[in-house]
Structure 1
């Protein structure tokens, strides 16, 4: 059964924004989230766990990107989350350096 056209995105730019936000933005958020965790918690365990939980988080973020009405807002939210997680990574490396 085909989709109802009134629920499909009409603008090509919105489609491109949603697709790129789903693939690239979701990947950036999931990787930066796990690296932020790794900067504060035992990094070996987090990186090993990231092989599974990172993929699950990425798929969830892809679904969220396609459920949104505006692709540019999703890009903004994903970039903001990535920047917040990068700040947490920076603070984690500054105040909790890994001793080797």
Structure 2
């Protein structure tokens, strides 16, 4: 979803807003299982590897479900854009 704002945001303010929204999402939607799945994803691990690290191990499909619930696709997009803007190498699978 994209929208047109009445005024332009500076890059710093735009990133502040994006990360403020991410913070709100994390606080409201992440469970401990979603956080555990996200930790592996942020490290760049494939879902199968994340599943094997759980004690006891879980199925890859369960990891996928936890990542979807944690909004991984949206968070990854924000992180990839941030890294692209600032020339940072990433582990987010892009």
Give the TM-score normalised by structure 2.
0.36
Q: Relative contact order: is structure 1 or structure 2 higher (C-alpha 8 Å, sep ≥ 6)?
A: 1
Larger radius of gyration: 1
Normalized per residue, the structure richer in helix is 1
Give the TM-score normalised by structure 1.
0.34
